[in-house]
Amino acid sequence: MKVNEYPNLLDVLITRLQEPLPNKEALAMMFPNIKSMPEHLPDNVRLSAVLLPLFIKNEEWHILVIRRTEDGHPHSGQISFPGGRHEPEDLNLQTTALREAEEEVGISPDKIKTIGALSPVYIVVSNFRVFPYIAYLESPETWHISPNEVQSVLEIPLGELFNPKAKVQTEVVSPTFPDIRRTVNAYQLQDETIIWGATAIILAELELILKARS
């Protein structure tokens, strides 16, 4: 997605995020056999938030994702967005997303303009309800990753990510259930990196919003 072809992308997002969001359609894209998220979440559900940093590089719109460090936790080694658990001292969930992005990849909150929120996603295996926030990073700098949490950073052109050829069905293994292989819908990057699960659902909603732009 070249900037000169989508110069008003941020304005489109600001407008569309105020309208009903296509969360059910996004879920159906990635998990067609699941009709909806649970209507009633557990009383002990844990809240978390992630940040979707958009930025311009080489005259193209990009999005930042991270590869989690292999540590044996439920999302170990997977592709996700910077983010984590909501802490009592956080003013709100948006604050959580900004704090975690600074801790994990070194994005200073004063360099970020928050655009709006996508639909929350419930992750069964870790009992997290994840609240995604889209933000614009005007001048991306060198990422300063936290090696305890982040193995690497991926800067993905939106044109590559949302190319129809990037949609695949593939087998995956969750760190939580290492003996079970599942066939899922996913995004596959040119370097064969696979993005699936909650991250894929969040990206699918973003893709649907951009495709419906006026």
The reported pLDDT for the residue numbered 202 is: 97
For residues 16 and 172, the answer to whether their CB atoms sit within 8 Å is no
What would the pLDDT profile of 112-146 be if each residue is shown by its tens digit? 999 999 999 998 878 889 999 999 998 776 899 99
Pairing of strands 83-85, 46-57: antiparallel
User: 9-164+197-211 has which CATH code?
Assistant: 3.90.79.10
DSSP code of residue 157: E
- Compute the mean pLDDT over every residue in the chain, rounded to the nearest whole number: 88
Q: How confident is the model at residue 70 (pLDDT cuts 50, 70, 90)?
A: confident
The reported pLDDT for the residue numbered 57 is: 92
The reported pLDDT for the residue numbered 89 is: 94
What is the DSSP track for 53-114? Answer: EEEEETTEEEEEEEEEP-SSSTTTT-EE-SEEE--TT-SSHHHHHHHHHHHHH---GGGEEE
Interatomic CA distance for residues 201 and 60, integer angstroms: 23
- Is the predicted pLDDT of residue 183 greater than 60, yes or no? yes
Mean pLDDT of all residues in 166-186: 79
**Angstrom distances, CA of residue 142 to CA of 59, 92, 108, 155, 209:** 18, 27, 12, 12, 29
What would the pLDDT profile of 38-58 be if each residue is shown by its tens digit? 667 888 889 999 999 999 999
For the chain, what percent of residues have pLDDT higher than 90? 64
Q: How confident is the model at residue 171 (pLDDT cuts 50, 70, 90)?
A: confident
Interatomic CA distance for residues 180 and 161, integer angstroms: 27
- Is the predicted pLDDT of residue 36 greater than 80, yes or no? no
Domain ranges of the chain: 9-164+197-211
Q: How confident is the model at residue 5 (pLDDT cuts 50, 70, 90)?
A: confident
The reported pLDDT for the residue numbered 159 is: 94
Shortest CA distance to 153 belongs to which of 1, 51, 48?
51
Mean pLDDT of all residues in 47-74: 88
State the pTM of this model. 0.91
- Is the predicted pLDDT of residue 200 greater than 70, yes or no? yes
Pairing of strands 60-68, 83-85: unpaired
**Angstrom distances, CA of residue 210 to CA of 8, 22, 28, 61, 179:** 11, 11, 17, 12, 37
φ, ψ for residue 127, nearest 5 deg: 60, 40
